[in-house]
């Protein structure tokens, strides 16, 4: 298996301790064949909300309340629905900090699951929504969600994720010069913070490349 890492884990890796970095690579390489996806309900609902604009807020809140009232399934499923409902409510409360009203927001589809290659590592990006220019329909930004309560993104980590997302859009879905750093949003639900890609990217891209070289080296030795 070639080296791979999710973009959110790469953001965590950028500010982690050496021991945590080693564990992140180990976990990414030894992923279980099946792992129940957490926050799937929240991810789907928030992606739809972004695409529908303010008109979708009432539906999102109703959906969250329905998740809370649903008693079915395992303890894991019940807990995950409760966490998803809370995440949806949080996003509704903080979404105004994203300036996307002048753009066309669309839910990301299968085309957007492509990864971006960095220093021999496949960085899995998967934006949750794309932001399009209303005239040209070119992709100019995106929204990436981060749900982890145990490993939230700090400001530096969030900026690194946003930088990687901008690079992914430029290489795979748009072109350099069209993608706006200020419209590449990373939403950390646990901290209620919204990060964007910094305008000055050269140093951060260098940092990401160096980290991916380190990840590749660790991967081959595990």
Residue 189, pLDDT > 80, answer: yes
Sequence-distant (6+) residues with CB within 8 A of 3 are 29, 120, 121, 122, 212, 215, 216, 219, 220
For 125-141, what is the mean pLDDT? 95
DSSP H or E stretch at residue 163:
helix 155-168
Rounded to whole angstroms, how far apart are CA atoms 183 and 47? 16
Rounded to whole angstroms, how far apart are CA atoms 34 and 63? 27
Cβ proximity of 10 and 210 under 8 Å = no
Query: How many residues are there in the chain?
Result: 222
Residue 27, pLDDT > 80, answer: yes
Residue 177, pLDDT > 80, answer: yes
pLDDT at site 205? 96
Rounded to whole angstroms, how far apart are CA atoms 222 and 206? 25
pLDDT at site 144? 97
pLDDT at site 188? 97
Residue 34, pLDDT > 60, answer: no
Residue 158 has a CB neighbour count (10 Å cut-off) of 27
For 73-78, what is the mean pLDDT? 89
Query: pLDDT class for 32, splitting at 50, 70, 90?
Result: confident
pLDDT at site 108? 83
Rounded to whole angstroms, how far apart are CA atoms 87 and 39? 8
For 89-110, what is the mean pLDDT? 89
Residue 111, pLDDT > 60, answer: no
For 100-120, what is the mean pLDDT? 84
pLDDT at site 110? 57
Query: pLDDT class for 35, splitting at 50, 70, 90?
Result: low
- Cα Rg for the chain, rounded, in angstroms? 17
Give the predicted TM-score (pTM) of the model: 0.93
For 16-43, what is the mean pLDDT? 88
Cβ proximity of 194 and 207 under 8 Å = no
Tokens matching residue 73: 């399934």
CA angle 56–59–62, rounded 5-degree value:
150
Cβ proximity of 153 and 161 under 8 Å = yes
- Kindly provide the b/e burial profile for residues 133-157, where b requires at least 16 CB atoms within 10 angstroms of the residue's own CB: beeeeebbbbbbbbbeeebbbbeeb
């Amino acid at each position: 298996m070639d080296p791979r890492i999710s973009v959110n884990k790469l953001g965590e890796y950028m500010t982690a301790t050496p021991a945590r970095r080693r564990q992140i690579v180990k976990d990414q390489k030894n992923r279980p064949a099946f792992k129940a996806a957490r926050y799937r309900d929240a991810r789907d609902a928030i992606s739809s909300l972004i695409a529908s604009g303010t008109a979708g807020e009432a539906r999102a809140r109703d959906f969250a309340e329905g998740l809370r009232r649903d008693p079915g399934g395992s303890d894991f499923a019940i807990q995950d629905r409760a966490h998803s409902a809370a995440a949806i409510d949080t996003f509704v409360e903080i979404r105004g900090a994203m300036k996307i009203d002048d753009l066309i927001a669309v839910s990301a589809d299968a085309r957007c699951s492509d990864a971006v290659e960095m220093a021999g590592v496949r960085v899995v990006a998967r934006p949750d929504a794309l932001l399009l220019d209303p005239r040209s329909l070119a992709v100019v930004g995106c929204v990436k969600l981060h749900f982890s309560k145990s490993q939230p993104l700090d400001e530096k980590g969030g900026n690194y994720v946003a930088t990687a997302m901008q690079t992914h859009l430029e290489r795979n879905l748009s072109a350099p010069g069209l993608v706006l750093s200020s419209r590449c949003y990373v939403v950390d639900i646990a901290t209620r913070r919204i990060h964007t890609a910094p305008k000055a990217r050269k140093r951060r891209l260098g940092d990401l490349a160096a980290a991916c070289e380190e990840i590749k080296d660790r991967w081959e030795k595990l």
